[in-house]
C-alpha cells in the first residue's frame, strides 16, 4: 500500500460507530483509513512515532506507541 515501514492495522466493525468496514493502519508514521468498497485511502493523522499496536472501539482509534498512547476521535475528523 503506502511506503515501506512495518504496518500495523485493525478493522472497523460495521455497526460499531464510525468507520465500519474500513481498515485503519499506521505506516510510515502516519494513520490511514482504507475503504475496501471505494478502494480509497485517506490520511487521518501524523506524525505517529514508534507505534506498537492499534485498536478501534466505536469512534475512537487508540494507538499505543513506545512513549505515549494516542486517541483519535473519528467523529471529529472532517474530510
* pTM for the full predicted model: 0.88
| Averaged pLDDT, 38-62 | 96
**For the chain, what is the mean pLDDT?**
91
pLDDT tens digits, 5-37: 689 999 999 988 888 899 999 999 999 999 999
Cα distance between residue 12 and residue 44, in whole Å: 14
At CB < 8 A and 24+ separation, what contacts does 69-78 make?
70/45, 72/31, 72/44, 72/45, 74/17, 74/18, 74/19, 74/44, 75/17, 75/18, 77/44
Q: Between 77 and 36, name the one with better pLDDT.
A: 36
What residues contact 39, with CB distance under 8 A and at least 6 apart?
A: none
Domains of the chain as residue ranges with CATH: 8-72 (2.40.10)
Ranking 20-24, 44-48, 74-78 by mean pLDDT, the lowest is 74-78
Amino acid at each position: 500500500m503506502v511506503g515501506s515501514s512495518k504496518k500495523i492495522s485493525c478493522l472497523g466493525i460495521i455497526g460499531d460507530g464510525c468507520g465500519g468496514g474500513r481498515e485503519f493502519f499506521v505506516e510510515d508514521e502516519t494513520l490511514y483509513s482504507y475503504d475496501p468498497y471505494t478502494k480509497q485511502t485517506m490520511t487521518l493523522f501524523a506524525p505517529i512515532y514508534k507505534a506498537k499496536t492499534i485498536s478501534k472501539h466505536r469512534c475512537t482509534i487508540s494507538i499505543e506507541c513506545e512513549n505515549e498512547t494516542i486517541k483519535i476521535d473519528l467523529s471529529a475528523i472532517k474530510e
